[in-house]
Structure 1
Amino acid sequence: MNSLFPIVDNEFSVPDVFDNFFNRFMWPSEFTSTMPKVDIEDKGSEYVMTADLPGVQKEDIHLSYDNNVLTLAASHNEQKDSQDDQHNYICKERSSSSFCRQFPVTGIQKEGIQAAFKDGVLTITLPKDAQQAQPTNTIEIQ
């Protein structure tokens, strides 16, 4: 069975529940995660992953598939211009951010992977390798 969901993103694990609670309510936003929200859909012959990347430019996205791991990384750097020197910021959190997410996935035709980026949304199509497709084993519950 293919594993498309990162182990570290398990919302039901006890440590993660507490970590998220404290990150959201106890720590300033610079300590919280800036991971993009990702949807993964199984369309039969392919997987389609959609990631929201607001404020990120196409040139700042790095996407790779190596050793059965899909890696999505991006960075966003807001350059200071001469007008920024005139502002007296108390807090400036929007200047830069970066992330890297990895998704273990097997049985993919790596030559057929396609990606498109439009309006801050990255869509990745991962065609399944028909030769590596394995039937699901159904286990009867007694």
Structure 2
Amino acid sequence: MTLGIGPEPEADLLVPVDLYREGDHYLLTADLPGLDPGSLHIDVRGQLLTISGHRTLRRLNGTQWLERDRGRGSLQRQVLLGGKVRAEAINARYECGVLSILLPVEPGHSTRKIDVRFR
């Protein structure tokens, strides 16, 4: 524990995500604890998914901080998806600090295995 540290300046925050494809959709989960209400924005353009938002921590005047690990500031995470997403069918939910996004893939944009021949 460090005594007498000052508040850290605002910085871009890391957004840890898990992303996988299951059948005809992608599922993305992102850890976003303490996000400011109303600051969350999700945008899909073609194959690029962008998540952005902001986290503000209380400012306490006259306080001597003993620990201050929780980040604050703007966050943005972009993920390139492997298939074209049906934007009109995207479903998102934010619960207990975790964002879950279901991203249906356009029919005909499936993956296939490529056999490699060795000589």
TM-score, normalising length from structure 2?
0.74
- Whose RCO is larger (CA < 8 A, sep 6+)? 2
Aligned to 2:74: 98
How many residues of Structure 1 are paired with residues of Structure 2 in the alignment?
111
1:36 is matched by which residue type in structure 2? V
Tell me how far 1:94 sits from its aligned partner. Answer: 4.6
Alignment root-mean-square deviation, CA: 2.9
**More deviation, 95-104/37-46:** 95-104
**Greater strand proportion:** 2
* Match runs of 1:1-142 below 5 Å: 34-80=13-59, 84-89=60-65, 94=70, 96-105=72-81, 106-142=83-119
Contact (CA 8 Å) 1:107, 1:133: kept in 2 or not?
no
DSSP 3-state at the match of 1:59: coil
Cα deviation for residue 67 of structure 1 reads: 3.5
CA distance in 1, matches of 2:118, 2:10: 44
Where structure 1 has 5 or more consecutive residues not aligned to the other structure, the ranges are 1-28
SS in 1 for 2:116: coil
Question: After the TM superposition, which segments of 4 or more aligned residues of structure 1 sit over 3 Å from their partners?
Answer: 29-33, 88-95
Which runs of no fewer than 5 residues in structure 2 stay unpaired? 1-7
2:100 maps to a residue whose letter is: T
* Cα separation, 2, equivalents of 1:73 and 1:112: 20
What residue identity is the alignment partner of 2:79? F
Q: In structure 2, how many angstroms separate the alpha carbons of the residues matched to 1:79 and 1:130? A: 47
Q: Residues 33 and 85 (structure 1 numbering): CA distance in 2 closer, same or farther, change over 3 Å?
A: closer
Residue 90 of structure 1 deviates from its aligned partner by 7.9
Higher helix share: 1
